[in-house]
Amino acid sequence: MDTPYKSCEKYFDTPEAIGLDGIDLEKYVIASYIIKRPKGMNVNYLSRFAAIEQSTGTWVRVPAETQEVRKHHVARVLGVYELPTYEYVLPKDLKERIYFVQIGFPIINFKGDGIPMLLTSVIGNIAITHGLKLVDLSFPKAWLEDFKGPKFGIDGLRKLLNIPERPLLNNMIKPCTGHTCDVGADLLYQAAVGGCDVVKDDELIGNPSFNPLEDRLSAYMEALDRADSEKGEKTLYTINVTSKFPDLFENADKMIEMGANALMINYLTSGFEALRQLAEDPSIKVPILGHMDFAGAYFGGEWTGMTSMLTLAKFPRICGADSVVLPAPYGKAEILDERYEQNLKTLRYPLQHIAPTLPMPSGGITQGMVEKTVKEAGNDILIGSGGGIHSHPDGPLDGARAFRQAIDAVMQGIPVKDHAKQHKELGRALGVWGTGKTQLIE
């Protein structure tokens, strides 16, 4: 009896299986993986097994998996590349070998079924394979055409807020949860009147009894109107509608009816398609902010799961998030500079008909980090700060003012430290936190 890997050799790469004219890559989603396996394992066989396991076959040939079925529905190994590429002999002390593998999955197998069946196909059963990580997906037009992407995106948000050039400023209301509606409304007012363009619920507050959605929206929007009239600028409040189904969608509809000017969803705990349903609903005509909590469960493993680029950028963008919270390497978040840069590019680079999504660097960012953040991420960002505003020694109003002063300095080409000498609020912030990485409370 054949082993599962060895049995793949019989039919997978034959001209009859592939078709004499080869394959049309415009009919395939191309998945890229990094695979680490023991020295003695042939990854050519493993790759073929993975392709078959995730499309037409299983560990043994079955009669109904005919030549015709394989021709149209089997996934194809497009390339297996070893890193480094040994040609003659293997080092005697080598224990493991690392490969870059690309597999094409026929979109006919899952077109129209969205993200659930895509992920089931490209990283379903093989997700339990030790030493295999999905690093990227390339989509043909025929598959991506089903997705509408952001309604607003970067350009739409800038137009809505009448901010053509400078970086935008966000505040997360702190404490994260446990506060009453009145307390939250006052905190929102101070952050907004101080200069925040967006104020968001923390991801940890949904629709609790001590601060229910309907009461929260009424009080917060009243506070927002007051703040906007005083500062002469528009502010968005992204209320968190995350909940179980169908309450999530009922929450969103109710908030829109009551006058919400933006929504937020924890898209990973709710699901990519929940975000997509909100974004593609024609009755929801306000921006949607996607929060990335639970993301580490997807990309935290070095050799398992899928990359942060897919989790934090490519999937939420095609599903319609107008802005996405990103962990930034400047504050409390743990992420490599390279991954952060990759995520920024993925949210903003050209992607067929999908509009760019506004990145929101976040996680312990303070006023002293604005210069570095803008230098590395550019102006098309929504700078996220929670504690850096609410823990300002003179209160959240001055905390927000200090951020705007730092942003103004960067836009004028003035070093933030120099600007702080003439601006009390910014000077106080730098006196507390400086310009370095956030020191976490022990």
Distance CA 104, CA 18 (A): 12
Please, are residues 367 and 431 in contact by the beta-carbon 8 Å criterion?
Answer: no
Distance CA 430, CA 392 (A): 10
**Is the alpha carbon torsion for 438, 439, 441, 442 positive or negative?**
positive
Query: Minimal CA–CA distance to 323: which of 252, 262, 241?
Result: 262
Query: Minimal CA–CA distance to 48: which of 6, 79, 8?
Result: 8
Three-state DSSP state, 298: helix
Q: Which of 200, 291, 419, 423 is catalytic?
A: 291
Pairing of strands 382-385, 168-172: parallel
Please, are residues 335 and 327 in contact by the beta-carbon 8 Å criterion?
Answer: yes
| DSSP E strands, 13-64 | 28-38
Residues 6+ apart with CB under 8 A from 288: 150, 151, 238, 262, 263, 264, 265, 275, 278, 279, 320, 321, 322, 323
Active-site residue 179, yes or no? no
* Most distant CA atoms of the chain, gap in Å: 80
Rounded to the nearest angstrom, the gap between the alpha carbon of residue 391 and the centroid of all alpha carbons in its chain is: 27
Count the neighbouring beta carbons within 10 Å of the beta carbon of residue 210: 11
DSSP per-residue letters across 167-182: PEEEEE-SSSSS--HH
Distance CA 58, CA 43 (A): 17
**Is the alpha carbon torsion for 31, 150, 349, 237 positive or negative?**
negative
Distance CA 32, CA 131 (A): 14
Distance CA 277, CA 319 (A): 8
Active-site residue 417, yes or no? no
For the record, the structure tokens of 261 come out as: 């000017």
Three-state DSSP state, 259: coil
Q: Which of 151, 174, 179, 390 is catalytic?
A: 174
Residues serving a catalytic function are 174, 291
